Amino acid sequence: MSRLVMKFGGTSVANIERIRNVARHVKREVDAGHEVAVVVSAMSGKTNELVAWCTEASPMHDAREYDAVVASGEQVTSGLLAIVLQSMGIQARSWQGWQIPIKTSDAHASARIEDIDGSEIIKRFRDRKEVAVIAGFQGINPETNRITTLGRGGSDTSAVAVAAAVKADRCDIYTDVDGVYTTDPRIVPKAKRLGKIAFEDMLELASQGAKVLQVRSVELGMVHNMPIFVRSSFDKPEDIDPHANQPPGTLICSEEEIMESHVVTGIAFSKDEAQISVRQIEDKPGVAASIFGPLADANINVDMIVQGVSEDGKTTDLTFTVPAADFTRARDTITAAKGKIGYARLDTATDVAKISVIGSGMRSHAGVAAQAFSALAGRNINIRAITTSEIKFSVLIDTAYTELAVRTLHTLYGLDQA
Going by the annotation, the residues of the binding site for ATP are 7-10, 175-176, 181, 186, 211-212
Distance CA 13, CA 15 (A): 6
Q: Does residue 251 sit in helix, strand or coil?
A: strand
Cα torsion angle, 229, 234, 240, 242, sign: positive
> 133 forms bridges with which residues in the sheet?
38, 94
Q: Are strands 146-149 and 392-398 parallel, antiparallel or unpaired?
A: unpaired
Q: What is the largest CA-CA distance in the chain?
A: 77
Cis peptide bond upstream of 101, omega within 30: yes
Closest C-alpha among 285, 284, 290, 318 to residue 304? 318
Amino acid (one-letter) located at 38: V
End-to-end CA distance of the chain: 33
Question: Is the separation of the CB atoms in 166 and 221 below 8 Å?
Answer: no
Closest C-alpha among 305, 350, 304 to residue 325? 350
- Residues comprising the binding site for substrate? 47, 74
